[in-house]
Chain A
């Protein structure tokens, strides 16, 4: 890298969840170019899967879509979805990143997003976006509001790829955008700084055999329950249990499923579960007025603005029953799910014959994160969370100059904290770019004579 070449005032942001989007908008709205890379076909991340958000119960889509739309249309944001960063060379001011795009099997330059292919596709598969609660087609977008609103073909599901039959989408596409031959493509992007915001995924609950996840159909995880509660979810916001589609009258929520368990799963607290579980129970009661909601917890962690009040609202207004103790066993009996727990306050063991059980799994870093950590030379802790340069006063900086982190990639975080971190990372990038381009001086700003 030649020393005299001017540093590049363009940023690469890896991950287009709310953290990546927020950082991208802050930087793009300050006049700099952004390359926003996302492994899924469209942007929005986890937040797009959520129903309503605590503590205001704002609908997640309602507050997020303006941002995904803005990012999608921004003249200074280049979206690279269905893509992953596979290589990085260079240093601060002069990084070259290799971005590999998976084959979408659809020519997005031509596709209008009309949706006809999805309508006609005969193959239905379980939707990972809906956490298994619903189906999608083999050619799909994550949601009807996807940005960009262009479909991809799931080659593992599409019968043309698996059995050499069908090609129906090709026939119905009015603009001939279907391209079964499309190959993975690689692009090099030159940037001066990088923000890693790859977020989180959820702990594999199959490892916790005592909770019956994967064995008992009516044991689901919190994100699946979000999809059930979501107006745009598979049940259009109606709470229906997976086994028989009935409305569950007794729902047990189990917190710390894999968190705070150094011996059996993850030792750390996943931070957001207490609040979203309170929200789940509350929304469940809003939809099933004669239902009963139980929450098993160890400590109620409602630390945040209006969080404690939200928890009290769940108990007082929505009559949610909190039970202090961990659940030891969940098993199926007839068409019910039996929960064995304890109430450490009364000193009693507790048994509930429920209709449905919702687990709050531990948050873990996205598996991709470790690969990125190695690639960028950024240390990660033993669970794969990236480590910032310093815990207290450098929360978005890393040991690698010009590389920043934001959101759940460093540890579990809720949305406001993630958004603040994203903007913070943006500030660091903006300060660098300003230094490299000498912006204020160029604009004729003087420090001015301060009164004293």
Chain B
């Protein structure tokens, strides 16, 4: 991967929108990595949580939007709870999902879920799942 950094890339509108909608300042993060160290879903992620912020700091949002990581964040708040700079990463993840789905449509389609799942899952799982995986 080669990133061409420029003022336009670093200060791009998408990043600004993410900061605004999440209420988080990306440059507050100094990349200590504690979020990644404590994330219970990190093992399944292609980008670690700290790398999500890192790539956004570099204006490299495409890589982030293509990653599996943003869909694997369960908003469990473990990272935010421990972050030495108080960055609420789950808010950033949520905004990334929302923005992506606004463009590309829903991540899951209820009709396509297996009937077995539909029958079994508690209501709560559907509601939260739709909140997170549909626009």
Contacts and interface: CB of A to CB of B under 8 A. Distances in A.
A and B found bound together: yes
Interface of A: 249-250, 291-292, 294, 300, 311-312, 315-316, 319-324, 343, 345-353
10 contacts: A316-B25, A321-B57, A345-B51, A346-B1, A346-B54, A348-B60, A350-B4, A352-B5, A352-B6, A353-B4
A323 B41 CA distance: 26
Contact of B5 (A312, A316, A351): A351
Contact of B7 (A250, A323, A345, A348): A250
Determine the main DSSP class of B at the interface with A. mixed
A438 to B, nearest CB: 56
Nearest to A350: B3
B5, B7, B50, B58 — most chain A CB neighbours (10 Å): B5
Given A346-B54, A348-B60, A350-B2, A300 B30 contact: yes
Contacts of B2: 348-351
B116 to A, nearest CB: 40
Interface in B1-33: 1-7, 10-11, 25, 27-28, 30-31
A350 B5 contact: yes
A316 B58 contact: no
B34 to A, nearest CB: 14
A347 B46 CA distance: 12
Interface of B: 1-7, 10-11, 25, 27-28, 30-31, 50-51, 54-55, 57-58, 60, 85
| 4 A-B pairs with least C-beta separation | A292-B7, A348-B1, A352-B5, A315-B27
A316 B27 contact: yes
Contacts of A315: 27-28, 30
A345 B50 contact: yes
B26 to A, nearest CB: 10
A321 B27 contact: yes
Contact of A345 (B4, B10, B11, B31): B31
A353 B6 contact: yes
Given A250-B6, A292-B10, A348 B27 contact: no
A324 B2 CA distance: 15
B25 A249 contact: no
A348 B3 contact: yes
Contacts of A312: 28, 30, 85
A345 B54 contact: yes
B27 A343 contact: no
Contacts of A250: 6-7
A205 to B, nearest CB: 23
A349 B3 contact: yes
Nearest to A292: B7
Contacts of A346: 1, 3, 51, 54-55, 58, 60
A353 B8 CA distance: 12
A321 B3 CA distance: 14
A232 B97 CA distance: 52
Contacts of B1: 346-349
A349 B11 CA distance: 19
A351 B3 contact: yes
Given A321-B10, A346-B3, 11 more contacts: A250-B7, A292-B7, A292-B11, A312-B30, A315-B27, A345-B31, A346-B54, A346-B58, A348-B1, A350-B2, A350-B5
A294 B31 CA distance: 16
Nearest to B59: A321
B58 A348 contact: yes
A46 to B, nearest CB: 29
A324 B5 contact: no
Nearest to A312: B30
Contacts of B11: 292
Contacts of A321: 5, 10, 27, 57-58
Nearest to A317: B27
Contacts of B10: 292, 321
A249 B7 contact: yes
A346 B63 CA distance: 10
A250 B5 CA distance: 10
